[in-house]
Structure 1
Amino acid sequence: MIVDDEAPILVATDLTKSFGGTEVVKRANLTVKRGSIHALIGPNGAGKSTMFGMLSGFLLPTKGRIEFEGVDITHERPESVARRGLVRSFQISAVFGHLSVHENVRVALQRHAGIASQFWRSDAALARLDARADELLDMVNLTAYRDVLAVNLSYGRKRILEIATTFAVAPKLLLLDEPMAGMGHEDIDRVVSLIRHIAAGRTILMVEHNLSVVRDLCDSITVLQRGEVIAEGDYATVSSDARVREAYIGTEEED
């Protein structure tokens, strides 16, 4: 398939999701430009996680359409969406604590290579993945922790390891669900630098509560409130919008 580099990589049109008759997301539209860092923000309960669930195939929209690289993926399952290159990193760190940092990345590479469950493979056969695993660790500045058990990593470094395992599947569009959640300032600075680094030649869509991070990192921002898109544009545009300021009164400090 020939990809138009000028065309948006992801387009969601009139996305709606209802639970028990209640619309959590209401006719939301989202366009993500290829090569951009795009933030999806909003107060708690705005529908951000539900949007991510629909975009990644974990939730079926009640109405609406999702196109990835011009292909309708609205009804595709998560594994099919991921194979296309739209990959989600979850808010809660998901690494194997009893495996080393290097082994965690190699497991992710095994999955991508289709040999995750082929336990009869010899060490020699799996060793071909070691070089790529080490490249990924170098990319995220975890080489010094290569042989450390993941359970012994700080929370921030576990999140960074999770990003490395996500990149093992070679995403075209990476969905990051609150990558800074629960982090101190030092870890936040480290992850911001990492996202800037890995964004080169890739596209990132992130849910993030830390507005200073969004301001400094993101090219475009879409703001949700009560399931509806109320503003979109760069930080200067959305932050000057009266509806956005009203939505964040009393929440910016809390977030």
Structure 2
Amino acid sequence: MTFAVPESRKEPRTVLSARGLSMSFGAFSAVRNVDLDVHHARVHALIGPNGAGKTTVFNLLTKFLTPTGGTITFMGTDITRLPPDRVARMGLVRSFQISAVFPHLTVLDNVRVALQRPNGLATQFWRPLSALDSLNERADRLIAAVGLSEARNAMAADLSYGRKRVLEIATTLALDPKVLLLDEPMAGMGGEDVAVVAGIIRNVARDRAVLMVEHNLKVVADICDHVTVLQRGEILAEGDYRTVSEDPRVRAAYMGTEEA
């Protein structure tokens, strides 16, 4: 007789990995020999002092930069030399530190715009505007998933900063990512907004991988399954939050004044 292995005991499935990832700008090595595994249905944090190379690693993984060494694999495919639009269509989708919504469109229309490409409407300019009505049901589900239903018809410009970031997550989810990369999603938020967005990220990770750069260590401790600590472009430590927070090298890296 055989028994099914409970999901909680199964080895997590790797969806995005890097091996020997390196990036040099002339004589300066911004990233050196980084190995990284991002798993399905997990929240993975990339942390480190300012200047540690976190944003460069993000730019490499999302193909805004081409590495000078190493390989990147996504869903079993080598994407090291692929352009960013190609990997985005494959399901590797990134949000940015600065909110990127259309301020003079409603919440609903922002999400409908994001839904056009995956639904084959992005280049069909001859279609009447009413064709977008077919996206309303899916758009409303995404809006509800991030807690913005009551603001469905509000202009994005009238939302608070934190709610704009929530709307951006909804538009990113419209692309149905397999891996969602978030660049400092809590930056500039008050405590109430931070709690809301943290909960949304945890829910989002139920059926996709999330890799995030984040400076708010309380958020990292609360929602992240795995943490990779960078220092001077190299991996300093990794593991769950308790493991890395007790590492004396990590403690030393966060002491004193960080460089801007």
Partner of 1:113: 119
1:153 aligns with 2:159: yes
What is the aligned counterpart of 1:64 among 51, 66, 70? 70
Give the deviation of 1:118 after TM superposition.
2.7
Partner of 1:12: 18
Query: Does the 8 Å contact 2:229/2:236 carry over to 1?
Result: yes
Q: Which letter maps to 1:152?
A: D
Partner of 1:168: 174
Query: Does the 8 Å contact 2:54/2:213 carry over to 1?
Result: yes
Partner of 2:253: 247
Q: Which letter maps to 1:58?
A: F
Task: Measure, in 1, the Cα distance between the counterparts of 2:13 and 2:144.
Answer: 32
Task: Measure, in 2, the Cα distance between the counterparts of 1:8 and 1:193.
Answer: 23
The farther-off stretch of 225-234 and 112-121 is 112-121
Task: Measure, in 2, the Cα distance between the counterparts of 1:210 and 1:23.
Answer: 26
Regions of 4+ moved over 4 Å: none
Query: Does the 8 Å contact 1:177/1:208 carry over to 2?
Result: yes
Q: Which letter maps to 1:77?
A: P
Secondary structure (helix, strand or coil) at the match of 1:201 reads coil
1:1-255 correspondence runs (5 A): 6-250=12-256
Give the deviation of 1:123 after TM superposition.
2.9
TM-score by length of 1: 0.94
Q: Which letter maps to 2:252?
A: E
Give the deviation of 1:161 after TM superposition.
0.3
Kindly tell me the number of residue pairs found equivalent between the two proteins. Answer: 251
Percent pairwise identity: 59
Task: Measure, in 2, the Cα distance between the counterparts of 1:157 and 1:117.
Answer: 29
Q: Which letter maps to 2:104?
A: H
Give the deviation of 1:117 after TM superposition.
3.7
Q: Residue deviations 1:207-246, cap 9 Å, x none?
A: 0000010001100000000100010000111011111000
Task: Measure, in 2, the Cα distance between the counterparts of 1:64 and 1:8.
Answer: 17
Q: Which letter maps to 1:185?
A: G
Give the deviation of 1:114 after TM superposition.
3.3
Task: Measure, in 1, the Cα distance between the counterparts of 2:142 and 2:13.
Answer: 29
Q: Which letter maps to 2:202?
A: R
Q: Residue deviations 1:134-186, cap 9 Å, x none?
A: 11000001011111111111000000000000000000110010000000101
Give the deviation of 1:251 after TM superposition.
5.6
Q: Which letter maps to 2:102?
A: F
Task: Measure, in 2, the Cα distance between the counterparts of 1:189 and 1:32.
Answer: 24
TM-score by length of 2: 0.93
Task: Measure, in 2, the Cα distance between the counterparts of 1:143 and 1:31.
Answer: 35
Query: Does the 8 Å contact 2:42/2:206 carry over to 1?
Result: no
Q: Residue deviations 1:110-137, cap 9 Å, x none?
A: 1222322433211332211111011100
Q: Which letter maps to 1:115?
A: L
Unaligned runs of 5+ in 1: none
Q: Residue deviations 1:93-122, cap 9 Å, x none?
A: 000001001000000001222322433211
Task: Measure, in 2, the Cα distance between the counterparts of 1:84 and 1:97.
Answer: 28
Query: Does the 8 Å contact 1:43/1:251 carry over to 2?
Result: no
Q: Which letter maps to 2:60?
A: M
Superposition CA RMSD, Å: 1.7
